[in-house]
């Protein structure tokens, strides 16, 4: 994640979110990637048809979701000290498969490990309490779909925005088990324009990334559920409480950005001062060494012993012998 990414993601949000009372300046759409917007659009039970459409496009035929149920998103630890795992959205389809949908805006260290941990919680939660003989580890599939805005999980390429991860045999490349799968969608690597969208999934990704900057539903959008999604994201649909929550959340992002930039500046200045001090010290050391060599040559020319020269100049014996 670079400073430019943070600036783009933070400072281009509609300023109206923070200007109360200016109705004529309200944006047409709210940000679907924000905490309030994401939960309103994806985690609401009345929007399950939108969730189904998006998930099926991500799965690309590997599984067909017909019905879906939004579940609890907090999974407590085994002990009070362990804490709980809070996930953006968890749902289950008609066959019992679990879907973990996570939206991550800013860089988080070890995000891949975090998604593994969350998926593991959904696996272990399937174990029945008490006797497990009848269950016999009959696990249901767990799918993780992670939308990443300000960073990537793959450092090798800047042109790949979709990463499908599965458990495979490393020798044959064949799938070892379908019980666990991950899809990482890197929005910062998705740079297609409105007229370059080649699939329904690309239309969805374009909408997720750009909707809060648009003034109308793009004509290229063909999926009925995507058009419904855009209409549901109208800023005018928000309650006053939701608008205030969006204002507070985005102001917090601005504040976080300011703190980050200040820390970077102070770090730069401190590093500059340290570098200057090191350079000065090295310069002094180099000058002292040059002076010691000059004295050693004079002493050697006057017949002083190597031991005497070393005691006075603190040069090494090998260095004195080579003079």
Hey, what are 303's tokens? 């017949």
Partners of 147 in beta bridges? 103, 185
Residues 205, 306: one domain?
no
Asked if the structure places residue 259 within a domain, the reply is no
Is residue 250, in this structure, part of any structural domain at all?
A: no
Q: Which residue has the tokens 């968890």?
A: 90
Q: Residue ranges of the alpha helices (H) in 15-70?
A: 35-42, 48-59
Residues 105 and 192 in one domain: yes
- Half-sphere exposure (Cβ direction) of 171: Cα atoms closer than 13 Å: 0
Helix (H, G, I), strand (E, B) or coil at 133: coil
Residue 7, pLDDT score: 45
In a domain, 248, yes or no: no
Give just the sign of the alpha carbon dihedral 89, 93, 98, 102.
negative
Tell me the C-alpha to C-alpha distance, in Å, between residue 235 and each of 32, 36, 43, 64, 227: 10, 12, 18, 32, 15
Domain hosting 226: range is: 3-238
Q: Which of 194, 218, 238 corresponds to the end of one domain?
A: 238
* 249 located within any domain: no
| Residue 245 resides in a domain | no
CB 256 within 8 Å of CB 107: no
The list of the chain residues with pLDDT below 50 reads 1-23, 79-84
Instruction: Look at residues 238, 257, 288 and tell me which one is the last residue of a structural domain.
Output: 238
Structure tokens at 269: 């200045």
User: Do both 224 and 279 map to the same domain?
Assistant: no
pLDDT at 36: 85
pLDDT value of position 257? 65
**pLDDT at res. 174:** 93
Please tell me the predicted confidence (pLDDT) of residue 73: 66
Residue 167 parent element (H or E): strand 162-168
Number of folded domains in the chain?
Answer: 2
Please indicate, yes or no, whether residues 311 and 209 belong to a single structural domain of this protein.
no
Q: Is residue 97 part of a domain?
A: yes
99 within some domain? yes
Please give the Cα distance from 120 to 114 (Å, whole number). 10
- For 314: left if phi > 0, alpha if psi spans -120 to 50, otherwise beta; the answer is left
């Amino acid at each position: 994640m670079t400073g430019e990414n943070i600036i783009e993601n933070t400072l281009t949000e509609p300023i109206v979110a923070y200007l109360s009372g200016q109705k004529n300046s309200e944006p047409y759409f709210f940000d679907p990637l924000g905490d309030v917007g994401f939960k309103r659009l994806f985690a609401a039970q009345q929007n399950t048809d939108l969730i189904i459409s998006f998930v099926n496009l991500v799965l690309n035929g590997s599984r067909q979701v017909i019905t879906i149920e939004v579940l609890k998103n907090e999974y407590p630890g085994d002990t009070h000290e362990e804490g709980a795992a809070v996930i953006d959205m968890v749902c289950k389809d008609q066959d019992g498969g679990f879907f973990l949908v996570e939206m991550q805006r800013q860089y988080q260290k070890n995000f891949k490990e975090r998604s593994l941990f969350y998926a593991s919680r959904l696996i272990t939660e399937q174990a029945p309490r008490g006797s497990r003989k009848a269950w016999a580890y009959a696990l249901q599939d767990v799918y993780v779909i992670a939308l990443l805005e300000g960073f990537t999980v793959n450092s090798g390429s800047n042109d790949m925005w979709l990463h499908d991860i599965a458990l495979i045999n490393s020798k044959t490349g064949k799938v070892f088990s379908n019980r666990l799968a991950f899809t990482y969608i890197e929005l910062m690597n998705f740079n297609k324009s409105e007229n370059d969208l080649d699939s329904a999934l690309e239309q969805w990704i374009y909408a997720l990334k750009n909707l809060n900057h648009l003034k109308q539903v793009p004509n290229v959008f063909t999926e009925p559920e995507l058009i419904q999604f855009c209409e549901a994201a109208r800023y005018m649909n928000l309650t006053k409480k939701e608008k205030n929550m969006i204002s507070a959340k985005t102001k917090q992002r601005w504040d976080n950005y300011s703190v980050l930039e200040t820390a970077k500046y102070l770090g730069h200045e401190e590093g500059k001062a340290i570098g200057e001090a090191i350079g000065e010290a090295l310069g002094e050391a180099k000058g002292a060494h040059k002076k010691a060599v000059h004295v050693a040559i004079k002493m050697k020319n006057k017949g002083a012993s190597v031991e005497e020269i070393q005691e006075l100049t603190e040069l090494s014996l090998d260095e004195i012998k080579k003079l």
